[in-house]
Each structure stands twice: as structure tokens, then as C-alpha cells.
Amino acid sequence: MIAAGERWPDGSLRPALEDAYGAGAIIAELQKRGAGPLSPEAAAARSSFTGTPEVADTVADCSSGRELIQQGFADDVAIAIELDATMVVPILTDGAFTAVPGRGPVDA
């Protein structure tokens, strides 16, 4: 599990809190289903997600969230923090995402 982040205009790594929370949410769910043991890095991502009382507010207030909201993408920020919101898992094939119906969180 990798919280990827993005790149600053100069090409250097721009860590993204929302990516860390996303990884933490997935790791927390996998652990509930019996996955493990967790590496220290995975445990830290999980703890960051589960230990944040208002994840949605925190993501909206982080630098990426503020930037997107100021650019008119508040709806995108709200969608990005939804949990278990879809029954479709996107699969990257030849550089493009395609939907694989029936491969969502309820089916696992």
C-alpha cells in the first residue's frame, strides 16, 4: 500500500494527506478482515486515519483540499473523502481506468 502524493511544479515530491488517509482507510479495513501483521508504515497510515476524529473536515482544511476548494472543486473534495461509496473498483489497464462491476467493498 503506497500513499503516492503528487509532484510540485519543480518535480519534487508533494506528500498528500488525503492519500495517506486513503491508504490508512484501506489498511484499517483489511486489518478488520484479518490481514496482517502490519508493517510499521502501514500501522502509521492506519493510525493516522483512525485517529483523526473528523477526516472530512481535515482533508478539506489541508493544503490540497483548500487549493481545490479555492479553484471551485469543493464537490470533488467531498466525493474524495466518501467511504464505501461505490460498488465499482477501477482497474488500470493500458494507462486508462475501467470499471469492474461487482468488485467493491461489499463483495469482498
pLDDT in tens, 47-100: 999 999 999 999 999 989 999 999 999 999 998 888 888 777 778 888 888 877
**Which residues pair with residue 14 across a beta bridge?**
6
- Single-letter amino acid code for the residue at 59: V
Q: What is the pTM assigned to this prediction?
A: 0.76
Phi, psi for 61 (deg, rounded to 5): -95, -10
pLDDT at 106: 46
- Residue 108 located in a structural domain: no
Q: Count of domains in the chain?
A: 1
Q: Is the dihedral of CA 34, 16, 102, 90 positive or negative?
A: negative
In a domain, 68, yes or no: yes
Query: Which one has a higher pLDDT value, 90 or 41?
Result: 41
CATH number, residue 94: 3.90.1560.10
Residue 49 counted as domain residue: yes
The CA-based dihedral angle spanning residues 61, 65, 68, 71, taken in that order and rounded to the nearest 10 degrees: 10
- Flag whether 20 is in a domain: yes
Residue 1 domain-assigned (yes or no): no
For residues 16-36, average pLDDT: 92
Band of the pLDDT at 101, cuts 50, 70, 90? low
pLDDT the model gives residue 102: 61
- Domain range for 38: 6-101
* Residue 104 scores a pLDDT above 70: no
Average pLDDT over residues 18-31: 92
Q: Is residue 18 part of a domain?
A: yes
Q: Is residue 12 part of a domain?
A: yes
Residue 67 included in any domain: yes
